[in-house]
């Protein structure tokens, strides 16, 4: 199974620019155009901050643009909320956030309200989204009702394991300016997934790729669509640079996931067809 992981599109309902001066719609359409050659995508996951202003129009734009890309590949799309999102408008447009290739709902289990959660099964893997939004705050939290629901769900293992997706990372940002994790109760989540079949946790928020662990699970913080955060500025500054990125995740074995960052940029060389096959001769251990 191959999953395309997007995060932090920061779209606006009125088309206004992101505060860093980026046209968020152009960033998303440009990235999806860059990713057009990727035909074998089984699922698209979007981990929050879909809207920068919480506007209904921003969710409609995300649904239409990302939904069209996914539908062309016969893939469902799973959306979840981030700190910049509006829960009511998100629900009005995206429902539980789990949409099938045709755009209709595809969740097999869901909880509504402030402690929102939903689950979808695909190819033997259970994908669970959790709403970590705390209105008016940058940090996130997984609520008591969500944790109780999650424990009940995980009591029965999925055939090939479980993947969680939410916005706020349960691992630290590697910069002295932002030391604690932005999910303020990672220990509660670690306790809830201990001894379960959770293998992978997908998050966003940091605008850069970051890997870590929470209990038995591999944690991946995906890069942002709207811009990139650059840590080479040191611990006493915050630097954003232009450029969109996503993650391609191989879940052939969910216990050993493979993550690859896809960055939109200017192509300087490309080789394919017979020339590529010739170039690869001799690289196999059997050659």
- pLDDT tens, residue by residue, 131-144: 999 999 999 999 99
Q: Looking at residue 176, what is its pLDDT?
A: 63
Lowest mean pLDDT among 16-25, 66-75, 160-169, 241-250: 16-25
Burial class of residue 100, CB neighbours in 10 A (0-12, 13-18, 19+) = middle
pLDDT digits (tens, 9 = 90+) for 109-118: 988 878 899 9
* Among 122, 56, 110, CA closest to 88: 56
Task: Look over the chain and give the mean of its residue pLDDT values, rounded to a whole number.
Answer: 92
Q: Looking at residue 285, what is its pLDDT?
A: 58
Q: 183: which 2 tokens?
A: 């999910």
Average pLDDT over residues 251-277: 84
Residue 171 has pLDDT above 70, yes or no: yes
Average pLDDT over residues 61-88: 97
Residue 266 has pLDDT above 60, yes or no: yes
Residue 284 has pLDDT above 60, yes or no: no
Q: 44: which 2 tokens?
A: 């698209």
Percent of the chain with pLDDT over 90: 77
Q: Looking at residue 80, what is its pLDDT?
A: 97
More confident residue, 168 or 281: 168
Q: Looking at residue 286, what is its pLDDT?
A: 58
Residue 287 has pLDDT above 80, yes or no: no
How far apart CA 244 and CA 123 sit, in angstroms, is: 29
Q: 81: which 2 tokens?
A: 């909320």
More confident residue, 15 or 181: 15
Average pLDDT over residues 24-44: 97
Average pLDDT over residues 149-161: 97
Q: Looking at residue 59, what is its pLDDT?
A: 98
Report yes or no: 203 and 170 within 8 Å, Cβ to Cβ. yes
Task: Using pLDDT thresholds of 50, 70 and 90, give the confidence band for residue 45.
Answer: very high
Q: What is the Rg, in whole angstroms, of the alpha carbon atoms belonging to the chain? A: 19
How far apart CA 190 and CA 188 sit, in angstroms, is: 5
Report yes or no: 89 and 81 within 8 Å, Cβ to Cβ. no
Residue 278 has pLDDT above 90, yes or no: no
Q: Looking at residue 172, what is its pLDDT?
A: 87
pLDDT digits (tens, 9 = 90+) for 175-208: 766 666 789 999 999 999 999 999 999 999 999 9
């Amino acid at each position: 199974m191959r999953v395309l992981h997007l995060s932090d599109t920061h779209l606006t309902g009125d088309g206004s620019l992101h505060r860093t001066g980026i046209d968020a719609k152009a960033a998303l359409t440009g990235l999806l155009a860059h990713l057009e050659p990727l035909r074998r995508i089984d699922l698209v996951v979007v981990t929050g901050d879909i809207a920068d202003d919480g506007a209904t129009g921003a969710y409609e734009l995300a649904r239409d643009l990302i939904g069209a890309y996914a539908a062309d590949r016969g893939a469902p799309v799973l959306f979840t909320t981030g700190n910049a999102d509006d829960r009511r408008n998100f629900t009005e447009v995206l429902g539980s956030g789990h949409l099938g290739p045709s755009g209709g709902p595809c969740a097999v289990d869901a909880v509504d309200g402030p402690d929102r959660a939903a689950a979808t099964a695909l190819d033997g893997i259970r994908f669970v989204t959790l709403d970590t939004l705390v209105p008016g705050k940058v940090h996130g939290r997984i609520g008591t009702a969500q944790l109780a629901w999650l424990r009940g769900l995980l009591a029965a293992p999925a055939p090939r394991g479980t993947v969680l997706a939410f916005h706020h990372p349960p691992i630290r940002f590697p910069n002295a300016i932002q030391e604690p994790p932005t999910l303020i109760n990672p220990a509660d989540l670690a306790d809830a997934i201990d001894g379960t079949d959770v293998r992978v946790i997908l998050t966003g928020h940091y605008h850069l790729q970051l890997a870590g662990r929470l209990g038995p699970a591999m944690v991946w913080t995906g890069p942002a669509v709207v811009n990139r955060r650059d840590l080479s500025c040191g611990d006493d500054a915050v630097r954003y640079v232009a450029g969109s990125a996503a993650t391609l995740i191989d879940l052939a074995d969910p216990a050993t996931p493979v993550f690859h960052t896809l960055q939109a940029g200017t192509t300087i060389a490309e080789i394919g067809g017979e020339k590529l096959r010739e170039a690869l001769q001799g690289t196999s251990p059997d050659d």
